[in-house]
């Protein structure tokens, strides 16, 4: 069978998939993404004894990521190249606040581009049919302290230390 020009450009869809739209992972910056900088590797592997290190997402900072009133960084699940929570941790993000609408979230350690560490809130957010993770309080402080701006390309790396999730934020 001869394929049309448009058929050649479209990604193949898994016939077992129920979705009509194939999942396309968007990467900002270079593809494949660059490796983790050596100074982060030294902290994560040598000092923290980190393991199961994965690049979760590489994205461009959007205007909504940098608005003070939103105070959060979105990590869309559709753009993630790796999930990082264990089966035991997933239900924690499913728990709702007393209002029954918002998710509670969990505190995780974040290694910032400055190589300083802080605790940040990781939450799940559902907007219609899409789901994403959010890094919130103290996101505005992290963004300010690391001079993050709209258009910056960042990476979020995930790792485990003592079997708990940790994150590393890298500004490219």
pLDDT in tens, 66-105: 999 999 999 998 888 888 888 888 888 888 888 877 778 8
Stated pTM of the model:
0.76
Q: Give Cβ neighbours of residue 157 (< 8 Å, ≥ 6 apart).
A: 36, 40, 44, 53, 54, 55, 56, 167, 168, 170
pLDDT (tens digit per residue) in 101-141: 777 889 999 999 999 999 999 998 877 788 889 999 899 99
- 29: exposed, middle or buried (C-beta count within 10 Å: 0-12, 13-18, 19+)? middle
Give the per-residue pLDDT at 30: 59
Q: Highest-confidence range of 31-45, 54-68, 81-95, by mean pLDDT? A: 54-68
| Band of residue 26 on the pLDDT scale cut at 50, 70, 90 | low
Q: What is the pLDDT of residue 91?
A: 84
Q: What is the pLDDT of residue 125?
A: 85
Q: What are 140-149's contacts with CB under 8 Å, separation 24+?
A: 140/68, 140/71, 142/110, 142/112, 142/118, 142/169, 143/65, 143/66, 143/73, 145/112, 145/114, 145/116, 146/112, 146/113, 146/114, 146/171, 148/61, 148/66, 148/113, 149/61, 149/66
* pLDDT-derived band at 19, boundaries 50, 70, 90: very low
CB 93 within 8 A of CB 107: no
Average pLDDT, the chain: 80
Q: Could you give the percent of the chain with pLDDT greater than 70?
A: 80
pLDDT at 119: 96
Domains of the chain in start order, with CATH, are 24-171 (2.40.330.10)
In which band, very low, low, confident or very high, does the pLDDT at 167 lie, cut at 50, 70 and 90?
very high
Beta-bridged to residue 54, according to DSSP, are 158
Residue 108 phi, psi (nearest 5): -130, 155
3-class DSSP state of 63: coil
Residue 165 tokens read as 């999730």
pLDDT exceeds cutoff 70 at 9: no
């Amino acid at each position: 069978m001869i394929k049309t020009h448009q058929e050649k450009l479209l990604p193949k869809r898994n016939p077992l998939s129920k979705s009509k739209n194939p999942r396309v992972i968007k990467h900002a910056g270079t593809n494949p993404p660059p490796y983790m900088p050596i100074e982060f590797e030294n902290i994560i592997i040598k000092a923290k004894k980190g393991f199961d290190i994965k690049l979760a997402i590489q994205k461009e900072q959007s205007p909504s990521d940098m608005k003070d009133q939103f105070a959060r960084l979105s990590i869309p699940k559709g753009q993630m190249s790796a999930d990082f929570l264990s089966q035991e941790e997933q239900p924690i993000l499913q728990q709702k606040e007393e209002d029954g609408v918002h998710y509670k979230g969990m505190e995780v350690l974040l290694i910032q581009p400055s190589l300083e560490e802080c605790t940040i809130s990781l939450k799940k957010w559902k907007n219609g049919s899409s789901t994403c993770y959010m890094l919130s309080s103290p996101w505005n402080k992290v963004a300010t302290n690391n001079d993050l701006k709209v258009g910056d390309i960042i990476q979020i790396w995930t790792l485990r230390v003592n079997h708990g999730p940790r994150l590393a934020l890298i500004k490219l």
